[in-house]
Structure 1
Amino acid sequence: MVKISFSTLGAPFYTVDQIVQLAEENHYDGVELRTIEGTNDLLSLPDFAPGAVETTRRKFEDAGLAIPCLDTSVLIESGSGEGFDRHLADAKRYATLASELGAPLIRIFAGPPEGVDNPQSFFPDVAKGLAILADVVHDLGVTAAIETHGTLSKSADLLEVFSYGVGENIGVLWDLMHTYRHGESLESSYDGLKSLIKHLHVRDAAGMVAEDKDYVLTGQGIAPLPELIALLEAGNFEGYVSFEWEKFWVPELEEPEVVIPQFAQYMSQFA
């Protein structure tokens, strides 16, 4: 049976207590932390301050909820420079928090800058940066999972970066909608990435245009979710399928108290 979680990106103004209640009432297995009380900077919140983290962790544990992933805005575009140093420092801060919360993963982004000529020429330097990052998170007992996103939305490009050597403790967060709307079949993405996948993001959408935010209730769009679950179960996937509803970025989307229970109800058919 596949485990389910939801990203707090979809309930961006909820408090920790409200998030725990929502997850518990709807029989989620875990909660992926991104946005709380209107901010993505979790380290600025009292619930995640030194001395308070253990209490926050216990709130999830007492409700039987895992924290499978802590989402960051870390972006690795190279292996040196001021920008790299800043993102590496952020990765260390969030990996430390993840370790304290018992979360095995932090979500990161990686890839060449948008719009560059010959992006493949940047892949070795991206891999160099990831290898440096791998050492940092390894020491904290955390894995950094690169989301299929941006210039690394296609699995073939992500795999090419991995081919240059990215070190241990680097995996993949497979965002199904990103690979699917970039023209990859479900099967080809899974076959290429399956040994690296640590976590999944899913949501449904009305159409195939990658840039559109035409998200719909789960099961009412184009996402091949039954086929996805069948693949994951056949492959004995041990991670989480996490509902990422982009409410923080697209405020006009349906409210969390509608979509988060609806996702859990939809997924119950696969239990």
Structure 2
Amino acid sequence: MQLKNKQSLTKIDEGLQADVQMKKYQIYELPYKDLYYAIKIFKETTTQDERIGEIQASQKIKSKYIIVYVCHDEEKFEWILYEKFGDYNLQQYLQHFKLEQYHVNYIFTQIIEGYYDILQSGYYHCDLKTANVLVDSSTLQIKICDLGFANQIQQKIKSRRGSRGYFAPEFFLDGANFLNEKTEVFAMGVILYQLLTNEFPYNNQNNCQKWIQITKSNWKDFWKNKRIPQQYKEIIQNVFEMDPNKRCNINYLQNIFHF
């Protein structure tokens, strides 16, 4: 398939590896030509292995809570075409709207189910954050996007993947295994905290070492001046547990948040 009118695309997002752009009627031979699509155009600094890795993850991970892969550039691997979903990402949405508790539960339940489907497909997402969750503001339906860092579960990862503010404490320990389900649960805890408060747990979310202070500090002191409903405090403490062996897993969250 060929990319048509590339210069007329409208940029809707930008990341380290690629730009995401949107327009109608972009690709020849599409089955649904009256729809808008999001085209992820890789930057030159992205290696071919990284591009192929994202394409393969996008093809293999199937879920109604994951952005839908349509096709990709089969010659040079320069772009991937996805469905265009929603009108905000979750980070943007939280800047404009305050969520009621039942909205928090509804959105977070979808995120949990989407992540569970990623695990069932044999992958870790490796970059869970509010900016990688798309939202339809009319229905509050969500889809997880950006599989650029996705890593197969059976493959070891040698370097830190993710975004500042969402790294688990074990990322900073020498000789640590950088990635497993528990590190992703920690990132989901950060998302839950943002859903509840519209802010990060700490003011300086760019200083990753701040996360280590969560469990070194007294939880009673931590909750001071934080408007978290009582029923969420135990959940927050479980997902922010410093020891990954004691931290809750995805099944714990599924038992609490469900439709």
Global fold match (TM > 0.5): no
Instruction: Report which structure shows greater RCO (CA 8 Å, sep ≥6).
Output: 1
Would you tell me which structure has more helix in proportion to its own residues?
1
Normalization by structure 1: what TM-score?
0.28
Normalization by structure 2: what TM-score?
0.29
